[in-house]
Structure 1
Amino acid sequence: MATVLDQLREMTVVVADTGEVAAVKTYQPVDCTTNPSLVLGALQDPASEALVSREIEAGRKAGRSAQQVCDALTVAVGAELAALVPGRVSTEVDACLSFDTDATVARARAIIADYAARGIDKSRILIKIAATWEGIRAAEILQGEGVDCNLTLLFSLAQAVACADAKAFLISPFVGRITDWYKKAEGKDSYGPNEDPGVLSVKGIYDYYKSNGIDTVVMGASFRSTDQIKALAGCDRLTIAPKLLEEMGREEAVLPRALSEKTASAAAPITMDERAFRWAMNADAMATEKLAEGIRNFDADHQKLIKMIAARMG
């Protein structure tokens, strides 16, 4: 019998949620995604030492700051991953720019230019931006320039609707983090797959998109268990950590399709301007808290990365 992972690949594009070269070589995903936490892991990964040393030395010789070397290293890691996957590599804009549309656009353009200088076309890259109102507006501008975006830290239908209106290429709703919040709020240890709040959130977004003919790709992210992944089999894409990929690669069982555009419920379209967006986020404590927490944590890892690079630069 085919493994659960092999069956999942028949109905969903599998993305590796890692920046580790060895893991990408092992699991051979179509796409891969990076963020400051994952680049930080690459900095500490022996398999990436040659790349890290090369970028730091080049930065030192050019008189660049630790921040500039950090920016270059992020793209260098992405470039190495792009050589290993047939699809896209997501590269994240600095979290500290999440509430600045113009700065986000400028940083995204710089990332694309750096990739181009390394011989990698923008068609191989997704610019990863936090799904704040300002970030979504930046994505709208970038999409108009032919730069595809991945809107991340997405926790609500309001965010998903705004991203679709902006013609974002892809969204990353965070399953596990939603479930974590509800476990704490409701005092529960676990949920069944069909009552899991994170799973239900993605199912609702997927249904809304398919009901309204929206092309934006839904990529479930931040999984805590293989049960959550199985409950979303058939989603456009799923980005999965190596540990969970390994578990599914060992398991032999029938994996039924859970999501299909053929079963969309014909959900009515929703009007989402800035006022409606901000009110919907204000009314959703989980989405507001997890978005803010995610931005803070990504920025903390980014700052840690810069400090580590500065220490190595001497």
Structure 2
Amino acid sequence: MSNQLDELRKFTTVVADTGDFQSMREHRPTDATTNPSLILKAIQKDEYRPLLDQTIQDYPNASTSQTLDHLLVKFGEQILNIVPGRVSTEVDARLSFDTSATIERARHLIGLYEKEGISRDRILIKIASTWEGINAARILQNEGIKCNMTLLFSMAQAVACADANVQLISPFVGRIYDWYKKNAGSQWIEEDNAGVNDPGVQSVTRIFNYFKKHDIKTEIMGASFRNKGQIIALAGCDLLTISPELLANLAQSNEAVQPVLNAADSGKLDIEPIETNETAFRFMLNEDAMGTEKLAEGIRAFVADSIKLDRIIEQARA
């Protein structure tokens, strides 16, 4: 009998949300995603420390930021030896509000991959879904550099990304769920907000329906899951990026999985197009307290982990 992970693969492309190579080998995802927090977690394990040591040895005169980029690419190279598809590599979150610097860093990362003989078709450059980040992605996409827009919590961000013709967006299911649960406090009833009623699931569903209704080619990849129920409720989404723990939970379960999202059904819905200029984007995001707060919080968290990575690199060089 097949398990839930195998069943999910019939409807959705499974992606590993980790820097853990062993988990990828075990669960056989198509793609993999990384971010500063995941790389920080991995590099503190003994089995991954040699990657940092080798990076410093190979590039002794590189600055801390250059060393970090080389380290990200080394992780990406190893991941691409395991997965058949793509790896997502993130631009430093400290550049989230700087369009030109984001473009420069993205080009640099792609250049490092190409020097190693890795085609840009196998790389997704992750960029925070700020207005500046989306503008950077628009330019990069025109250069053939495919972008994965991360820290996405709202329809305003999703529609602006679609208008920029980005390759992929990553709406964060779990962090949306966290916000609504925290705000509800003692009024929160878990059973009433589970599965298709989960606010994070509902957010991705709205984006999915909008994109499919308007024949938008940008891929949708649900991310940041807190439990298996959120994943099962989004079966049928283009892609889902899943942590090792939840991949293991799915692999250990034989419960049935049925497609929940369906592009044909979405096409029958009555959904009006949404305006996508900068003024409309900023106002619509401002009206969304959850989206505004979680975007800012997410950038701060990634910046904090990038600073920790810098310190580890500097200590290793000492």
Choose the corresponding residue for 1:312, options 291, 309, 316.
316
User: Among 195, 219, 222, which residue is 1:220 paired with?
Assistant: 222
- Give the CA deviation at 1:64: 1.8
- Within 5 A, what are the aligned runs for 1:1-314? 1-60=1-60, 63-187=61-185, 188=188, 190=190, 191-264=193-266, 265-314=269-318
Asked whether the 8 Å contact 2:194–2:230 carries over to 1, the reply is: no
Tell me if the contact between 2:70 and 2:112 (Cα under 8 Å) persists in the aligned partners. yes
Check whether the contact 2:87–2:122 (CA below 8 A) recurs between aligned residues.
yes
Cα deviations across residues 170-215 of structure 1 (Å, max 9, x unaligned)? 0000000001000011122522212211000000000000000000
CA distance in 1, matches of 2:189, 2:98: 38
Identity %: 52
1:22 and 1:47 in contact (8 A); partners too: no
- Aligned to 1:87, what secondary structure does the other structure show? coil
Task: Give, in angstroms, the shift of residue 45 of structure 1.
Answer: 2.6
**Mind listing any 5+ residue stretches in structure 2 that lack a counterpart?**
none
Could you tell me which amino acid in structure 1 is paired with residue 110 of structure 2? Answer: I
Opposite residue 164 of structure 1, the aligned amino acid is A
1:227-272: CA deviations, max 9, x gaps?
0000000000000000000001000011111101011114221111
Using a 3 Å threshold, how does the CA distance of structure 1 residues 208 and 310 change in structure 2: closer, same or farther?
Answer: same
For the Cα contact (< 8 Å) 1:212–1:266, is it kept in 2?
no
Number of residue equivalences: 312
Distance 1:51 1:251 in 2: 34
The DSSP-based 3-state class of the residue aligned with 2:195 is coil
Query: Secondary structure at 2:117's aligned position in 1?
Result: coil
Is the partner of 2:276 in helix, strand or coil?
coil
5+ residue gaps in structure 1?
none
Provide the rounded CA distance (Å) in 1 between the counterparts of 2:178 and 2:14.
Answer: 23
Letter of the 1:205 partner, please give it.
I
Q: Which runs of 4+ in 1 moved over 3 A?
A: none
TM-score, scaled relative to structure 1: 0.97
